[in-house]
Structure 1
């Protein structure tokens, strides 16, 4: 039996790259898919490909950064397929710039698409899922959330995705809704456009798709609030922000006390400098 038989899912930004691979894989496992992309022609094309292979799919050409269009996208799934079982918040944009030469318009676009998009789609989906008593939200994050050079806006947006994943998981568990994130490594148009990305054409989007299908399926029952790093050959769980021991306590703290603590008892808990994390 197909893993997603009888389920209906929305996948944003699925006109190409990772989203297209997620849509095809989910459909091949029996899901009815709403293919969304801001480029309507690409969404139509992918939905047509799925139908030609015997699957069920409809297209939606709209921007998830618009709250009304995001709500309409979720509504389309319910109208066309009678339910909403899963949402994959995949749509995203990226660019590189030196901090002193960044562009406010591009920063705003990244925040609107990468942060507001998942928020708008996720809240609309949560309302439907709470009414029906269950569902799955999969957010697409990035290892960039730890801070990537020349990508402050993108890194910040993916840090926000990690935070919303944890927040929604805490709120929605009691409603039978699982919320997880994936941090994929794949050779996509976004990667090809970035000269700093290591050439890895063997890491195709298709190799990442099984992880998303797993999270959408009942096989992942009980898994929520996680960020999974996946490259197609490597799978791991990413640590999330938490307090580190020891926790030092004093009645009052002077500047010198703080300096001594960070140079002494807390020294080994300090994170490595960014240069050690991103080469």
Structure 2
């Protein structure tokens, strides 16, 4: 991939997946604005990218507000003259079950993930339309937003909302040749370390240990670097005709998520009463009821 001449902003790029995205984009030739709320991490990321021969600058600000979004776009333009790629990766977690979740727990996660994606994408779209040369908006979703995860009401709501916005923006920005996609990554990061059934594998990957095939394939869990190539691909000319998609990546697996669709339908002249629904549900609908949560591989597959 050759992204020479392209300019990218990556939010939440001081560590984990965001850092991997920024490094991969820079290695392909893009000039990168590294955003993080932690100045030390942003500075370290810029030094690492520069030390590897890439070009990057840091912009320290908390994602969520319109002011931060505009500052990121302005920094790209002032430093490098343009903006071609916006990667909305920044995020936080405040996990707890519904009956214990506070207003602040909910609002904080939604503000950073959902509002932050909206404000950054909006600022990027304005600039890209002004430039008149197209562009790429790459939004980071999660399997939680696709299927739900116990204890993550706020995160699930935000990540599901991101995919909904992506589908809308793909239509709205098509005429401007700006593609908009969601990526659904899984990787060993500080966030996934908090998931009990993943912790052992996350720590093993952090130590540089080889993990069983079922981890990289069945769980689709690998390093952040395993997920970074998808961002660079979507940012490249090869991704010019891909828009409105939710694409999964992790470990050895890449996948394309479907849009929600009707699984089954039934009709009754004059509409449906509660009694009529109770009669038809067991035979017409129950066999098609949808599962919740991410399906896990069978234990017997763990040795493969």
Same fold (TM over 0.5): yes
Counterpart Cα distance in 2 of 1:131 and 1:38:
28
Q: Output the CA distance in 1 between the equivalents of 2:46 and 2:267.
A: 56
Please give the residue correspondences for 1:67-78 in structure 2 after superposition, counting only pairs within 5 Å.
67-78=66-77
Q: In structure 2, what is the equivalent of residue 187 of structure 1?
A: 188
Whole-Å separation in 2 of the counterparts to 1:249 and 1:70 = 50
Q: Equivalences for 1:186-225 in 2 at 5 Å? A: 186-201=187-202, 202=205, 203-225=222-244
Q: Structure 2 CA distance, aligned partners of 1:249 and 1:32? A: 59
- Mapped to 1, the partners of 2:262 and 2:65 lie a distance apart of 36
Deviation of 1:143 after TM superposition, in Å, equals 0.4
CA gap of 1:257–1:89, structure 2 versus 1, over 3 A, is: same
When residues 276 and 148 of structure 1 are mapped into structure 2, their CA distance, relative to the original with a 3 A threshold, is closer
Query: What displacement does 1:263 show?
Result: 2.2
- Give the distance between the partners of 2:6 and 2:294, measured in 1 at CA: 43
Please show how residues 53-92 of structure 1 align to structure 2 within 5 Å: 53-92=52-91
**Partner SS state of residue 264, structure 1:** helix
Q: In the TM superposition, what is the alpha-carbon distance from 1:66 to its structure 2 partner?
A: 1.7
Change (3 A) 1:206 1:195: same
Retained in 2: the 8 A contact 1:186–1:200? no
* Alignment partners' CA distance in 2, 1:164 and 1:278: 28
Listed as ranges, the gaps of 5+ residues in structure 1 are none
Name 2:33's counterpart in structure 1: 34
Post-superposition shift, 1:36? Answer: 0.2
The range that moved more, 91-100 or 108-117, is: 91-100
Q: Work out whether 1:256 is the aligned partner of 2:261.
A: no
Which secondary structure state, in structure 1, belongs to the residue aligned with residue 173 of structure 2? helix
Distance 1:27 1:276, change over 3 A: closer
How far apart are residue 154 of structure 1 and its match? 0.8
Q: By how many angstroms is 1:75 displaced?
A: 1.3
Q: CA deviation at 1:179?
A: 0.6
Question: For this pair of structures, how many residues does the alignment match?
Answer: 277
TM-fit CA distance, 1:6? 0.8
Residue of structure 1 equivalent to 2:138: 138
Structure 2: tracts of 5 or more residues without a match: 206-221, 298-304
**Cα distance change of structure 1 residues 266 and 10 upon mapping to structure 2, 3 Å threshold:** same
TM-score, normalization: structure 1?
Answer: 0.94
Distance 1:260 1:81 in 2: 65
Distance 1:263 1:66 in 2: 48
Contact (CA 8 Å) 1:261, 1:267: kept in 2 or not? no
Cross-structure match for 1:172: 173
C-alpha distance in 1 between matches for 2:32 and 2:268: 53
Aligned to 1:156: 157
Q: Is the 2:113–2:158 Cα contact (8 Å) retained in structure 1?
A: yes
* Residue 48 of structure 1: how far off its partner (Å): 1.7
Q: Summarize deviations over 1:18-44 as a string: whole Å, max 9, x none.
A: 000110110000000000001122112
| Alpha-carbon RMSD | 1.8
Superimposed CA distance per residue, residues 106-128 of structure 1 (whole angstroms, 9 cap, x where no aligned partner): 21110100100000000000011
CA distance in 2, matches of 1:257, 1:210: 51
Give the SS at the match of 2:58.
strand
Map 1:12-31 → 2, pairs under 5 A = 12-31=11-30
Alpha carbons 1:149, 1:278 under 8 Å: kept: no
2:8 is matched with 9
